[in-house]
Amino acid sequence: MQKSLSVYDSDGSTFAPLVVIELVSETKEEAIAWLLNRVRDKQQDGGAELLVEQLTPGAQGTEKDNPNVYVVGASWQRLLYGAEDVGLFKEFNDGSMRGFTYANKHNFKEFQGDGDGFLSMAECQYIIKHGLDNLRAKDEAHVPGYPKMKLYPGKSVIRRMQSKGVLVQVFPLHEKEELKRLSFSWFKKIKLSFQPLDDIRHYFGEGMALYFGFLEYFTLALIPMALIGIPYYLFDWEDYDKFTVFAGFNLVWCTVILELWKRLSASLAYGWGTLSRKKAFEEPRPGFHGVLGVNPVTGRAEPLYSNAKRQLRIYLVSVPFVLLCLYLSLYVMMIYFDMEGWALMIHDEEPTFWTGLLLFIPSIIYAVVIEIMNLIYRYAAEFLTGWENHRLESTFQNHLVLKVLVFNFFNCFASLFYIAFVMQDMVLLRQSLATLLITSQILNQIMEAFLPYWLQRRRNKKAHKRMIKTMEDKELPLSEQVKLEADMSTYLGTFDDYLELFLLFGYVSLFSCVYPLAAVLVVLNNVTEVYSDAFKMCKVFKRPFSEPAANIGVWQLAFEAMSVIAVVTNCALIGMSPQVKSYFPESETQLILWVVGFEHFLLASKFILTFVIPDVPKHIQIKLSRLEFESLEALKKRSQAHGR
């Protein structure tokens, strides 16, 4: 909890500010008063029962500062009841992970005294966010002062005000001392060691910790591939007959590491109390709209939208748009090959050092164009997916991920497939893969780390013209800290981070047998990625709200789909090697049948391996079963007691 800074609530009690609410500067007074009253009201009266106070401008305040900034906190008892409401799992006295209940609080391992320190600041902020999100309209027809901002019973007040632009942002505050300690152990001290995943989870939540856990695991899993790839690169550079062994290792590697990751993530999630946590009922997205009706599950009024209309939008607009983008990507790819042919022709006519360099220019240009196309397409995909009007955020994310993955996969790998299986030019394939990989990594580092850092430095310089103090050197007054954090960039989630890892996994698993140094380059990229991602989370972006997660979600399926494509690709590359072709000198049909049969055998082995290796380690399965048994027994005893 943030002890150093505190504010006074309207009733005179002090509280630690945890979350900031910012409304637009010209918000109507009656709307502000109504919202604050709803935030403060008792839960039984439909309020959030939170503590909220207007942020008083500091000594450095100016007339340009937005006066409608409010800090939100909660009493310790409210936070403990909230922990039960959101279903937090904590370690019990017997070492098991159990859902927290206020009545049973003293039986939890870390609960001492009045429970001070039992909940992390991230958990407290998540509880407050849950309370704000569940502020619902009662009998109001509209937000006071805004007749056009319609409300209906059960509508989320915060979501409505956000979607209409009255509420600018809601974000959790950083805790400076804790952030300083995390920064030091995470990225300030460069050392060869594991990341402090428990500390990351404690500060940023399970979703963020699982991303960094997967990034670290993926990097470590690449080391055997990198160690094998170095001698292959040094001694078998032009001998493509011997890449069959490397391709075979590739096939086993990409299957085993994904299965082992499931077990590791299950172990992490159990230790963090999210593995057996029940998923909360999802509320409609802020942008979801439709005709007012009644939800058959909750009985609450909410917009309803015809699924048939949504499907028509998907299949008559979104799918054709994606296909059009794929066609444009194919067209750009053919231009790239024309440029390659032109550069090769010039080099063949008069080979010099400069014409040798010219051979790499088309690939570099193409790699930059790919990144630009991916960026433009991402915005278009977000717009289209929003226009499809999905009710749930999870459904929205799944459709967005599918659109983006299809295009990114085609855009990044189509040229490599064409070179490998149509042109069958292994030298060009190796050169294109190396150029695409190196160029995309450089651009990603610039876009993800250096550009946000430079923009943040510029913002910080402007903010500190009126103050010599810095956040690192001396503690800022609360008003200045809020002002500084409010201007920081908003972290948009792990989507782009996972997408980058997905593409790197594709480069390694699909074609690294042709360019064995691919794994080495990805390892180096991932090491710098750990530090750049850690830096931007701590220094560049606003603190995101903690998000409970038991796994990496839909991305696990994406990586597994890539591993299936890798089996087919590597089998085809093995079948193309002169060494294998020499066994079938007379019949190409026999070669194709042998390759297809071998590929089916490997796919069957892969799925058997997936079935044989349990997703959850045995000792965790036993603990979960024991907990379920104890819950059933307790329920039986309670029923018998009531029966008497």
Residue by residue, DSSP assigns 294-337 as E-TTT--EEEE--HHHHHHHIIIIIHHHHHHHHHHHHHHHHHHH
pLDDT of 467: 47
| 192-196: average pLDDT | 80
Query: Does the structure show a pLDDT above 70 at 466?
Result: no
pLDDT of 278: 67
Chain CA centroid to CA 609, Å = 28
| Three-state secondary-structure class, residue 101 | coil
Residue type, 231: P
DSSP, res 292:
E
pLDDT of 540: 83
| Three-state secondary-structure class, residue 253 | helix
Cβ neighbors of 482 (< 8 A, separation 6 or more) are 17, 20, 55, 69, 71, 173
What the block records as the tokens of 109 is 């391992």
Other CB atoms within 10 A of residue 534 CB = 20
Q: Which of 297, 315, 494, 266 is nearest to 397 (CA)?
A: 494
Gyration radius of the chain's alpha carbons: 28
| 423-446: average pLDDT | 83
More confident residue, 472 or 291: 291
pLDDT band at 120 (very low <50, low <70, confident <90, very high): confident
Distance CA 25, CA 15 (A): 25
pLDDT of 108: 87
Q: Which of 483, 448, 493 is nearest to 462 (CA)?
A: 483
Cβ neighbors of 371 (< 8 A, separation 6 or more) are 439, 440, 443, 444
| Three-state secondary-structure class, residue 97 | strand
* 282 touches 366 (CB < 8 A): no
Distance CA 392, CA 372 (A): 29
| Three-state secondary-structure class, residue 168 | strand
Q: 396-405, 407-416, 538-547, 601-610: which has the minimum mean pLDDT? A: 601-610
Query: Does the structure show a pLDDT above 80 at 147?
Result: yes
pLDDT of 238: 54
pLDDT band at 463 (very low <50, low <70, confident <90, very high): low
Backbone angles phi, psi at 351, to 5 degrees: -65, 120
Other CB atoms within 10 A of residue 153 CB = 14
Average pLDDT, the chain: 83
The per-residue b/e assignment along 508-525, b for 16 or more CB within 10 angstroms, e otherwise, is bbbbbbbbbbbbbbbbeb
pLDDT of 9: 57
Query: If you search the block for the tokens 């450089």, which residue do you land on?
Result: 442
More confident residue, 573 or 39: 39
Distance CA 609, CA 421 (A): 29
pLDDT of 129: 93
Sign of CA dihedral 389, 392, 393, 395: negative
| 384-403: average pLDDT | 88
Q: 363-367, 399-403, 506-510: which has the minimum mean pLDDT? A: 363-367
pLDDT of 232: 76
pTM: 0.87
Compute the CA torsion angle 597, 600, 604, 607 (nearest 10 deg).
Answer: 160
Distance CA 186, CA 193 (A): 10
pLDDT of 3: 46
Q: Which of 147, 145, 142 is nearest to 157 (CA)?
A: 142
| 439-445: average pLDDT | 80
Residue type, 162: Q
What does the chain come to in residues? 644
pLDDT band at 452 (very low <50, low <70, confident <90, very high): low
How confident is the model over 326-380, as pLDDT tens digits? 999 999 999 988 888 888 888 777 778 777 777 778 888 888 888 889 889 989 9
Cβ neighbors of 248 (< 8 A, separation 6 or more) are 570, 574
| 442-460: average pLDDT | 69
How confident is the model over 558-588, as pLDDT tens digits? 999 999 999 888 888 888 877 777 777 777 8
DSSP, res 545:
P
DSSP, res 468:
-
Query: Does the structure show a pLDDT above 80 at 636?
Result: no
Distance CA 407, CA 403 (A): 6
Distance CA 208, CA 216 (A): 13
